């Protein structure tokens, strides 16, 4: 009999009703790819929560194993860059959306989608960072390239108690920025201060319809929320500033005016982590290794087992999770 392994499988019936089950698969069930990996750690991102809960159309192939991130060890490879025993990371590339993902003990993917696990970093650490942390680093790099350095003034991070926000606060503060953290959970203020936030403001300050221009409050920002929050952040960004947008927890709309762009020269920097080229990914993971205090990972992450994934997916969509969730497989 072929060896079996545990997996979460999301299916949909003829009436498009979604179901989620834990099942056993074999390697013959996996999708096409030239590298097979033993998944050692994964994580629960907001997108994973949307996929499992069905609250947004993340999954576009049925049935599917969800999970957009994993770290593990190569079992077999016909790809020139990878050998059995190599330690690797995967983020994005449609895995967990159109290709079987991380919520299984085995994954078969294209070798071009993988990056090496940085020296001195465990699979657990890599998933405490995960797509959220990698995306946060892409945001920081984008701000730097636009000239938003600490001397330019404060930077705001929205959705600061979430995965992207928590890592962004930590990285930006370690680089010397004055970080203003915006959160809807006032009880998380001590957590955000511990991560390095200089100020914590209520989400409500940014939740109402935005004025075309408001008082200048920050030189730049990292936004994981979208909608009215992003519109307000833009209206409050100082002359020549920039905002890196990477999320939609508050909505996909952007009810803003052109005023910040044409009267203050503000730039909106779009951040995509899913299809980013390998060179961009390698740079982000290199910078994470130098700019993120790995000792802080313990404070911004919670560890669960495979059996806790489904509950955690619902909790993250309901705003009940702080920071990062690591799954030890």
* SS3 letters across 42-83: EECCHHHHHHHHCCCCCCCCCCECCCCEEEEEEEEECCCCCC
CA distance 54 to 48: 10
CA distance 149 to 15: 52
Q: According to the model, what pLDDT value does residue 1 have? A: 61
DSSP result, 149-173: -GGG--EEESSTTSHHHHHHHHHHH
pLDDT tens digit at each of 329 positions of the chain: 679 999 999 999 999 999 999 999 999 999 999 999 999 999 999 999 999 999 999 999 999 999 999 999 999 999 999 999 999 999 999 999 999 999 999 999 999 999 999 988 999 999 999 999 999 999 999 999 999 999 999 999 999 999 999 999 999 999 999 999 999 999 999 999 999 999 999 999 999 999 999 999 999 999 999 999 999 999 999 999 999 999 999 999 999 999 999 999 999 999 999 999 999 999 999 999 889 887 887 888 999 999 999 999 999 999 999 999 999 99
Q: According to the model, what pLDDT value does residue 2 have? A: 74
Which residues, 6+ apart, have CB-to-CB distance to 88 below 8 Å? 35, 37, 71, 72, 73, 74, 82, 114, 115, 116, 117
DSSP result, 96-148: TTTB--SSBSEEEE-GGGEEEPPTT--HHHHHHHHHHHHHHHHHHHHHHHTT-
CB 271 within 8 A of CB 246: yes
Q: According to the model, what pLDDT value does residue 34 have? A: 98
Residue 7 main-chain phi, psi, to 5 deg: -155, 155
Rg (CA), the chain: 20
The token pair at 92 is 């994005």
The token pair at 312 is 């955690």
Share of the chain above pLDDT 70, in %: 100
69-77/87-91 β-pairing? antiparallel
DSSP label of 14: T
Q: Global pTM? A: 0.91
Tally of CB atoms within 10 A around 263: 12
Q: What is the three-class DSSP state of 290?
A: helix
Mean pLDDT of the chain: 96
CA distance 43 to 134: 13
CA distance 329 to 313: 16
Q: According to the model, what pLDDT value does residue 297 have? A: 79
pLDDT digits over 74-100, tens only?
A: 999 999 999 999 999 999 999 999 999
């Amino acid at each position: 009999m072929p060896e079996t392994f545990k997996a979460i499988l999301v299916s949909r019936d003829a009436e498009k009703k979604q179901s989620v089950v834990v099942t056993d698969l074999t390697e013959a069930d996996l999708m096409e790819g030239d590298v097979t990996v033993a998944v050692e750690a994964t994580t629960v991102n907001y997108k994973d929560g949307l996929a499992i809960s069905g609250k947004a159309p993340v999954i576009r192939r049925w049935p599917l194993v969800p999970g957009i991130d994993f770290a593990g060890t190569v079992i077999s490879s016909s790809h020139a860059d990878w050998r059995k025993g190599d330690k690797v990371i995967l983020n994005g590339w449609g895995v967990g959306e159109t290709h079987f993902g991380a919520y299984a003990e085995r994954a078969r993917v294209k070798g071009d989608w993988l990056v090496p696990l940085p020296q001195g970093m465990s699979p657990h650490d890599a998933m405490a960072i995960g797509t959220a942390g990698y995306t946060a680093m892409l945001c920081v790099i984008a701000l730097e390239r636009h000239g938003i350095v600490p001397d330019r003034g404060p930077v705001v991070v929205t959705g600061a108690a979430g995965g992207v926000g928590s890592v962004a606060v930590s990285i930006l503060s370690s680089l010397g920025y004055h970080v203003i953290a915006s959160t809807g959970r006032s009880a998380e203020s001590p957590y955000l201060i511990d991560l390095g936030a200089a100020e914590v403001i209520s989400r409500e300050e940014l939740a109402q319809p935005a004025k075309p221009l408001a008082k200048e409050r920050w030189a730049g920002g990292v936004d994981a929320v979208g909608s009215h929050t992003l519109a307000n952040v833009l209206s409050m960004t100082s002359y020549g500033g920039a905002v890196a947008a990477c999320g939609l927890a508050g909505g996909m709309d952007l009810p803003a005016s052109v005023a910040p762009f044409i009267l203050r020269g503000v730039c909106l920097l779009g951040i995509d982590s899913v299809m980013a080229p390998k060179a961009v990914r390698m740079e982000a993971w290199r910078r994470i290794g130098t700019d993120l205090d790995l000792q802080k990972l313990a404070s911004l992450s919670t560890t669960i087992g495979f059996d806790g994934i489904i509950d955690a997916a619902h909790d993250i969509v309901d705003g009940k999770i702080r920071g990062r969730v690591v799954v030890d497989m």
